[in-house]
Structure 1
């Protein structure tokens, strides 16, 4: 809890800090990477840095946390902290790195806002930062401690490689430290690129839960820039018999037990956690009402399409709704156009799981809220900077 004095100061200065978030973020990263270039080469996603997508995410999460503390607005704090904790645990973020972030973030705030940052303002926001950082450090330590191998990086042997679509390849892995995962979780994959940089990306586990058989499905990001350097490396180099460096499974957006009706909605490569969830439901003989909705460019671009169709067919209470923006290859039962939940029969009370591009998830979430589904029943997974923080 913030002290009453700090809460009043944070409440009064939230508009100024939030309004300057882009400038603060730019100065923060410039200063930190100038003194610690290793962080950009080994921890931060340099593709997102180059495109500008990640620049505001970190500082914006702190502003969202502050708003949650003093205004009770934005996403529930527990949910926000859980998502960040799982991401950080999978990336190998250390407690010491929070000190580094603090140093350069507060230097950036001083530089951008100048005299507006009085000692009282600095102290209040320092209190916010360490409330959030300490909660994350504790949570990440618990997550790593509960994971086989302590959550440390481990080697995994590629046992199978399969071309799913022209742009998606799946890799079946045998980890040297087996660990069970829940449907919906992901692993980080770290690769050393030709220039010596070690870059990390996160991929959903796209198969049925297993301790020693993991599958990830990697979509190649085209364009030749740093955005797709890890996916391009995996597509070009990873073959059966090779070993990859991977994290333990993490992720808080997981399928719950119970009998509540489910909506599993995805678009593009966001289908991967949905396949894992459907595989788990089929393997356990679930008779739950399950509505599976997926949107893609065309049937040929839909990774794991036949597998998903078979899994849904094996579930007596499930229905599948496929939307394709382009008609070639469409079959009976396929709809042409973007995902339209208005054309889908949904139960009045459901729990929803969304994965795909942010615009898709925002549209689906807005539709569900308009139909009376509680916000707390709509869960989503984001890979990359979570610019939804503060408005979820």
Structure 2
């Protein structure tokens, strides 16, 4: 066993991104993740690109992002043989993950009641687009649709008239994160009760769950937040600013930090319009203009060094390649090396958690379709034989 979940078996029936991301997170914690894919093409994200890599340019980098530390088996869930195999795997699993549309798993012969008949200790993670019940519970959900429906696009972009999607598939990824921590909580509870339960989340819930101060601005304050470009909705100055050769970000969270920034830029910090955050925010456009006139005197490197020396939070705006080349990223274990059977040694974005005292995790590459059929069947037979001997 390696990792906190080294004795946990996860049966991953999900595809695309939200469910696979949750399963990958559990795999990063050491769980044995068995990914079930349809024999004809497998997880649809295997076909999502560009970019595609490999000798035949047929390996999706999208798929590689969400499926490390898994074993793939090819199973037709609609066949009698496939359903029998799933029943056997359910009996040996601790967690089942699915992100079918509401009712699909029932029609395949695996409603919750049946799953808990097979294995009362099974924790079931169900991820849907908009929830499993309610007036629109059956709607299909994809990331960008959920970003719009859950209000995130109305908060993102240069102005209220130009709503933007967040560049990453954030609804899917957040649903996966929420799902994974729900699974861990249910596993902990199982230690007391001896029984598994259903954990439910959705793309709608995941995005609404991170509204934070945007949510209370409306629910308590009665104000509808709108997109404000690259500047904070409640704090000033806090955002992206132009200097001589591009843009930097400056985040001033209190009046002490403001006085340091003002001193660097030659602005009177006690000007009535800028003395407190309330006044700075009310006069934000004038403040940004004053700051950018001063920032135009030097380049980004100059200002980042000066702001850093003054203890003011500031930073560059890096491209993705710059992030992965940055030594700070690498020092945090945010890139992992795996040996792929086709691609050779490759680097993948790594898990965001580290545990003091644990040796570095040995990560397995994302699997080929059905790559582990024989291995999983042999392991399953071994588990069943051990159980039979214990009876």
- State which structure, 1 or 2, has the greater radius of gyration over its C-alpha atoms: 2
Same fold (TM over 0.5): no
The structure that is helix-richer by fraction is 1
TM-score (norm 2): 0.29
TM-score (norm 1): 0.29
